[in-house]
Chains A and B, each alone.
Chain A
């Protein structure tokens, strides 16, 4: 059974660095064609893909935020991390991590963690 759960700071101030953790079970990130992605959603708005890390440490980033994003993994502890530097109010929203199947679609999602950027 594949499960994922996001964790984060809840609230942070503008210009700080947002650190998110995705803890998962039910699959191995070292397995071929497997990945974990991060997707965010401002309140009342649509989905925005941020980054995906794959089985051979292959990384894909959304170019619109690439300079601010770092995705990494701890395979032995079944965790994936996302850091976003220099946050501002536009980074407020719900952040999801999701299991990425072959062909890079997302078949299992975590419940999401809400992040608010406010001074």
Chain B
């Protein structure tokens, strides 16, 4: 199985940039297609797709969110961070089954 590693917590000041990382135990890219995706989950809600295939913004998601990376290292950036962004963020790979999720990063405000 491909294991995805995320830091458990990230504390950022409002208006600053948040950088959330996800490292895969093996490459999740096929040629130029990076099969890493990002989700936001607020307490009591279902997850919401933010970024698909590493860098594509999902429909209705503000441009403050962006994604980058390839191979084994991926990043979700939120700039600037707003109070509404307090949530858990999960990466997910679809390079191969089982389609694993990272353990999540909780974004906190300093």
Residues of A within 8 A of B (CB): 37, 39, 46-49, 52, 60-64, 96, 101, 103-112
Q: Which chain B positions have C-beta within 8 A of A104?
A: 35, 94, 99
**CA of A106 to CA of B53 in the docked complex: distance in angstroms?**
11
Interface residues of B in 34-54 (CB under 8 A from A): 35, 37, 39, 41, 46-49, 52-53
B94 to chain A, nearest CB (A): 4
Total chain B interface residues with beta-carbon distance under 8 A: 24
Q: In the bound complex, do residue B46 and residue A112 qualify as a contact, i.e. CB atoms below 8 Å apart?
A: yes
A37 to B92, CA, bound (A): 13
Q: Which A-chain residue is minimally distant from B97 (CB atoms)? A: A60
Q: With A46-B90, A60-B97 as given contacts, are A103 and B47 in contact (CB-CB < 8 Å)?
A: no
Contact (Cβ within 8 A) B52 A47:
no
Q: Shortest Cβ distance from B109 into chain A, in angstroms? A: 20
Shortest Cβ-Cβ A-B pairs, 8 listed: A104-B94, A105-B37, A109-B46, A60-B97, A47-B101, A62-B98, A49-B99, A46-B104
Q: Look across to chain B and name the residue whose beta carbon is closest to the beta carbon of A111.
A: B46
Name 18 A/B residue pairs within 8 A (Cβ), A-sorted. Answer: A47-B39, A47-B41, A47-B90, A47-B92, A47-B101, A47-B104, A48-B101, A49-B101, A61-B98, A96-B47, A103-B33, A103-B35, A103-B52, A103-B53, A104-B35, A104-B94, A107-B49, A109-B47
